[in-house]
Amino acid sequence: MPTIQLTDQFGLDVDVKTDVLSSLEKYAASLTKLPLTGLNLQSIADLTLANPSVTSLHAGLTFDRPVNIGSGGVTLALEGGLGGSMDIYVPPPGGGSLFAADLYGESIPVASAERYVSIALNASAGPDICATINQLTFGFQPGVKVSLANFRKFEMQPAAPSILEAVETTISGFCIPGSPDDLRTLAVDSVVTLEGTGSITFHAKANLLAAANPLATLDLPSPLPALDVSAGGSVTVAASCSVNWEYQLRVRRLDAGRISLGFYRKRGSETTVSVDACAGVSAGTASTDLFSSVIAVISKSAEVDSSAIQSLGVPDDQLKAIGEAVKNAAQRKLEISLVAALTAAESHGAAFLYEFDLNSLDAAGTAALAAALHGDLSGLTGDSLPAGVQMVRSIATDLQQTGLTWKINLLGIYNYISTSELVRQGTVVYEPATGDLVITDKATAQRFAAATVNFGADTDKLRHVLADSFFITAVYRGSRSLISGPGPEIECSHSYFQLRASTSADEMRAALAAAAALGLPDTGGANPLPAGIDDFGSTMVYAETSYDDALTPALFLNGADPKPQDEFESAGRQAIRLLVRSDAADGFRLLGVADDALWAKMRAAGQFNLAPLFPGLTEPEVVVIAADYSVIVWWAEAMAACAKTVAAMHRLLAAGSDAASPQFLALRAGLAKTLAQVAGNTKEEFGQPWGLVAMDRVSGCRAAARVQIAGARFAFARSSGAGLAAAAGRS
């Protein structure tokens, strides 16, 4: 029977016999010595683990020469020198935890009458870590640092083993989990962990909740047809996914027959996801089928639209472009959601966790377990699991059960008879930051087409166009000039979206401030940002407010009367107060909006004469305050001008006129001229969080709101419905 020589620097020299099925003999035959450093094990070898004088102990493992671990090639390489550790964990009297919960989450409780002895080997992933002939792949990348550890549990009753016996037992049964057979040798409650950076693959199926956002443009037809758009519905998309992350693979023997296997993300580490949505959709496998499914759920004439995509008379190259845009949009939506699920502040457990009954596994279950040990979860993330396998947690399953909002922005839909006609005469692109779709006429598409993103939109330009269109839509809906037609209420949405390649802690706090400003549920007063991170990496920020026909008039009217300009100015000032933090670099902006008397002086002085009012600020700071002033006044004047016409149109309708009367059409024509002037001067800030918050405040804080932050290191999502109950806590 093979042996491993265990020594320390104080005279200990013991030959430890390994088990018959030892992983060390199977994968690391050249590992013949374990030299302990930093601990005099010789002096305490005969003490039992229950001895009151025995506390948690730590020793290093130093190798005099490199050791290769592998099967079919070098998988892990232990370098000469300090290459591991041996630890004894003694919990406090009330019990403790085997792992630090803030590192990977979901620790293992240890009772006061239990002890754990662990052996950890720190290695580098070898060049054959990805070789298909190799049993030990685990999903790690060549060259990365990998920690392989075994934790062996010992009971203090009825008789506690000696320290040396416990260490020998841990070494003898050391498990390297290369195959399901290796796991059968684990003792009950033993734990094996592997930590490193790499990729795992899996299948996911998501319910994309396609939500139509019908937006008007300036040149509305007359008379207006009823809107041929539905509120939306669910579209199912299947995909192959890959996660690149810093993670822990954890295997635990639960009882004589069962093990658990989980993948845990390292807190604060960067995580990226890639998605291939070619695996199939509910309506078929072609991307045009996916688009047909989208059209079917956002169009009232679904049975016509879903079957007519191929016969719309659209050229083949345009159909191909539509298919690519929809595919890219769906993939991006899944990427965002998976990253958010992995990095969410509320996520404290395994991303994937399964239990296997080793005695009940059939061939499919054994193959799925073997593949999982290699970082491939495809056999465990399908519609059904093999015999002997139970899913405890899976972000792939959560994705399918919860559903993802997929906004379909219909720009200029009021100018066309149907969504199909808008598609035939227009363009379909996707927004690369959020994965939302945009279906629009070709002229409008030219305003935001991206030269560098195939079938995609320029994020900054599209944000500006959507803000313009939302303003126009809100005014027309507020004046009751748009006809939704029979069917469910359809909201129009005001949105902000931004994708940053690098996101500072201050920028992340500003995004969270936007959520708070929109009255979304907080995190119990605690700062949800993980500490110690200065750069949160690539981050997508999305904020949205939505208004239905019943709420939109409240943006302009107090009862039957138009809101005055000073009410809009007050809402605009409130928005800045809610969004700007006093401790931020731009905290000085609060000086310009906090005081009513000072604001009156600013109004009297005008935008270019504000410096004397702020003697303590620098010239650049005064310029920023002047910019805030300019935006608020522009918006307030535009809203007040529209409010007067909206009120006149409401009075006309209340007097018995209808939307087709000459008087009403004349008012609408005047409103169109006002909107044309507004659209030509729309400030960029209206498409920023400030615009969303200002409009929400003037509505009485009754808009439905949603904020999502999805980043490589942090995620956050909150939403709330509209209504007076929600507004009660936001005034």
Residue 141 has what pLDDT?
A: 79
343-401 pLDDT tens trace: 875 566 899 999 999 999 999 999 999 999 989 999 998 778 999 999 999 988 877 77
Rounded average pLDDT over 231-244 = 88
Rounded average pLDDT over 642-656 = 93
- 630 by Cβ neighbours in 10 Å (0-12 / 13-18 / 19+) ranks as middle
> Which two three-digit tokens encode residue 609?
């004469």
Q: How crowded is the C-beta side of 118, counted as CA atoms within 13 Å? A: 26
Q: Which residue stretches of 374-429 are H helix?
A: 395-402, 419-425
Amino acid letter, 456: G
Band of residue 614 on the pLDDT scale cut at 50, 70, 90: very high
Residue 524 has what pLDDT?
A: 45
What mean pLDDT is reported for the chain?
87
DSSP 227: P
Question: For residues 194 and 280, is the Cβ–Cβ distance under 8 A?
Answer: no
Rounded average pLDDT over 692-700 = 97
Rounded average pLDDT over 143-152 = 91
Q: How far is CA 382 from CA 205, 209, 240, 250, in A?
A: 8, 21, 11, 22
Question: What's phi and psi for 51, nearest 5 deg?
Answer: -60, 130
Rounded average pLDDT over 463-472 = 93
Distance CA 378, CA 396 (A): 11
- How big is the chain by its Cα radius of gyration, in Å? 32
* pLDDT at residue 729 tops 50: no
* Locus of tokens 């024509």: 669
Closest CA to 632 of 590, 579, 576: 576
In this structure, the strands spanning 76-78 and 114-125 are antiparallel
Tell me how crowded residue 677 is: count the other CB atoms within 10 A of its CB: 10
Q: Which residue stretches of 392-531 are H helix?
A: 395-402, 419-425, 442-445, 459-478, 505-517
DSSP 573: H
Closest CA to 624 of 690, 542, 707: 690
* pLDDT at residue 282 tops 70: no
**Percent of the chain scoring above 90 in pLDDT:** 54
> Which two three-digit tokens encode residue 111?
């009772």
Tell me how crowded residue 637 is: count the other CB atoms within 10 A of its CB: 15
Question: What's phi and psi for 150, nearest 5 deg?
Answer: -120, 135
Q: Give the three-class secondary structure for 196.
A: strand
Distance CA 34, CA 645 (A): 86
Residue 263 CA to its chain's centroid (Å): 18
The counts of H helices and E strands in the chain are 19, 26
Tell me how crowded residue 610 is: count the other CB atoms within 10 A of its CB: 19
Residue 636 CA to its chain's centroid (Å): 35
Q: Give the three-class secondary structure for 462.
A: helix
Exposed e or buried b per residue across 421-458, where buried means at least 16 C-beta atoms within 10 angstroms of its C-beta: ebbeebbbbbbbbbbbbbbbbeebbeebbbeeeebbbb
57-70 pLDDT tens trace: 999 998 888 888 87
DSSP 266: P
* All residues at 6 or more sequence positions from 718 whose CB lies less than 8 Å from its CB, including other chains: 515, 520, 521, 706, 707
Which range, of 170-179, 481-490, 541-550, 616-625, averages the lowest pLDDT?
A: 481-490
33-53 pLDDT tens trace: 999 999 999 999 999 999 999
494-538 pLDDT tens trace: 999 999 999 999 999 999 999 999 999 664 455 678 878 899 999
Residue 629 has what pLDDT?
A: 96
> Which two three-digit tokens encode residue 48?
């039992």
Conformation bin of residue 23: beta by default, left when phi > 0, alpha when psi is -120 to 50: alpha
Distance CA 651, CA 661 (A): 13
Peptide bond before residue 158 is cis, with ω within 30 degrees of 0: yes
